[in-house]
Each structure stands twice: as C-alpha cells, then as structure tokens.
Amino acid sequence: MMQYDLLIAGIAIRLIYSKKISIEPYAASSFWANSKEMDIVLHIDTVQKLEKMSMPYVNIKTSAWEMMKDKNGMFYNIFNQGCIKAILFIAYDYTECMLKILEDELHDIIPPLHIMYPILSGFLLKKNQGFFFHGSFVKIGEKGIVLTGESGVGKSTLSELIKTNGFEKFGDDRLILTLDSQEKFVLCHSTPFDLKLSNWVNISYRVDAILCLMHSSNGSNCLDKQNMNKEMGHLILMNFLPLFMEDNLAKHFNLCERLLSGISLYNYSFVPDNTSVKYLLDSLCG
C-alpha cells in the first residue's frame, strides 16, 4: 500500500493506493508530506479486470462517463472509446471516495488527477468555497488576469505570448477560483490538471480581471470593459458547471455571483503576436 498527501486550493487530499506504482514526475511534484487532518480520502485499487456497474437509473450520461445516485453516494462508470476503464464512488459528503481502475489505464487517468474533478467540484460547492473555471491565468505586472472564452479562441496562445514576454503563467484549462480566508477578494489556485506544466507548484494569486477573448477582426487590439452583473450569466454558462450535481445548480450560480461580482470584466479582441501583450500592459498596468 502507498499513501500520498497533497494540497489543492487549500483542500487536503490523501491518495491511498492498494499497490505500489510509479508516479509521473509532474504529478509527484504536487505531493507534500504533512500531518494535517485530511478533507478528502481517495482509495485507489488497480485491478486486472473490471465489469461495468449495473445502473438501472442513470442520472447523467456523457460519452466518457455515466453517473447514478443511491442512498450511499454517487457511482460513476468511466469509459474510453466505449470500453469501461474505471468505476468511481463518491460519498455525499465528499470526504470518502473509492476508485477501481484497470492497471493498464492508470497513467491515462490518475497522474493528471482528472478523476479529482467531480470530487473537488462537489467539495468546493458543498463548503460554499469556490468552483472550477475554464481559462488560463497570467500575472502581468501586479495584475492577476484570467483569460477565458470559447474553445479555440486563443487562451493558450495569448497566455504563452505573455509568458514568453517575461510574465508569469500558471494554470491552463481548469482553474479553481475561491474567496480568500477573509472573503475580501478572489484567489486563483494552480492545479495539477494541466499536462503542459512540467513543474506544478501549489500557489495562488489574487484575481483582478477576467478577459473574454475573441479574435481581432480589424488587425488591432481592443480592450472593452463590460458590466459584470449583466454579463455574468453568459460568463458562467461559458465555463465549467458541476453538471453531475443537477440538484445544486442554483447554489452554484449564487456562489459564482458572490465571487465574480467584484472582479473587472473585459472583452479583449486581440492579434496573436507580441503587440497584444504590450497593449494589455499599457491598458491594465499603465
């Protein structure tokens, strides 16, 4: 048996493996040793054969997984190309979870900790602490900025341009936003979900602005401030929602409103070259 403790967005998580396995370096960098009481314990059992759980009533079904609730918690059948690869159980309080996974699929699912997404989402919502957000996070000068937008709009492109110009980038795809301990401002936490980051570090920064990206139609960069209260609904729908918790969507929207209302929102039509970084620096930090 092997045990690893890690910290994501202030949540202490213990992974308990039934067998000795090798951990990919980028995942191992997130592990830490601490005697702090755990918030979540995930038991991981690798098996040679796995049979799909019979689900007489499926609450939610996607191409990758299906979920059913019963009196004990939530069960997930997890698929890849139509074949069952893992079964996940999550207790309703999110403190105890069990994952059974085929041995040859271990590194496809566990190292990036994607399996933690429904667990962490549910835990954050239950504790009224925060949520996942679809975007990249960069720091330009003293400003912490979330880059978001539809798929393919250029979040990774712009964040990489910002990084190559000497500014900080951490977090790509799935960010975690929470209130700080005094509930005065919003923090963006780094997560180990991004496979593009080779040396994940557990840090957080204040969020000062959210930029909704779009391609420039006239060859110039343009930053246009928006009314967050008017655009919040669209912003929430454009980002990750805990779809596996359909009974709690109202609570999720209320939490989003609570966190996002104090953050500046902009539409940013940008040209994918270094002029877009200089424009942001002059506009937001000048």
pLDDT tens digits, residue range 105-128?
Answer: 665 545 445 677 888 888 998 888
pLDDT tens by residue, 151-168: 888 898 999 999 999 898
pLDDT higher than 60, residue 28: no
Q: Are residues 49 and 143 in the same domain?
A: no
Joined tokens for residue 265: 């929102």
Query: In the prediction, which pLDDT does 270 show?
Result: 95
- The DSSP code sequence of 96-112 is EEEEEEEGGGHHHHTTT
Distance (Å, rounded) from C-alpha 23 to C-alpha 66? Answer: 27
Q: Are residues 202 and 250 in the same domain?
A: yes
Q: Are residues 95 and 200 in the same domain?
A: no
pLDDT higher than 70, residue 34: no
Q: Contact 74/89 with Cβ under 8 angstroms?
A: yes
Confidence label for 189 from pLDDT (cuts 50, 70 and 90): confident
Q: Are residues 8 and 108 in the same domain?
A: yes
Point out the domain boundary residue: 79, 101, 126. 126
Q: Are residues 243 and 138 in the same domain?
A: yes
Point out the domain boundary residue: 111, 126, 141. 126
pLDDT tens by residue, 211-257: 999 999 899 999 999 999 999 888 887 776 555 555 667 788 888 88
SS3 175: strand
Sequence-distant contacts of 79-86: CB under 8 A, at least 24 apart: 80/105, 80/108, 84/50, 84/51, 84/52, 85/50, 85/109, 86/50, 86/115
Point out the domain boundary residue: 109, 126, 143. 126
Q: Which residues pair with 180 in a beta bridge?
A: none
Distance (Å, rounded) from C-alpha 31 to C-alpha 165? Answer: 30
- State pTM to two decimals: 0.85
Q: Which residue has the higher pLDDT, 4 or 35?
A: 4
Q: Are residues 166 and 60 in the same domain?
A: no
Distance (Å, rounded) from C-alpha 25 to C-alpha 200? Answer: 10
Q: Are residues 142 and 107 in the same domain?
A: no
How many structural domains comprise the chain? 2
Query: In the prediction, which pLDDT does 283 show?
Result: 92
- List the one residue out of 189, 196, 227 whose CA is nearest residue 210: 227
Q: Are residues 121 and 134 in the same domain?
A: no
Q: Are residues 236 and 177 in the same domain?
A: yes
> Please, which residues have CB within 8 angstroms of residue 185's CB and are 6 or more apart in sequence?
179, 206, 207, 262
Q: Which residues pair with 111 in a beta bridge?
A: none
Residue type, 89: F
Q: Are residues 208 and 257 in the same domain?
A: yes
SS3 51: coil
Task: Look up the domain containing 221 and give its range.
Answer: 130-285
Where does residue 267 rank: exposed (0-12), middle (13-18), buried (19+ CB within 10 A)?
Answer: middle
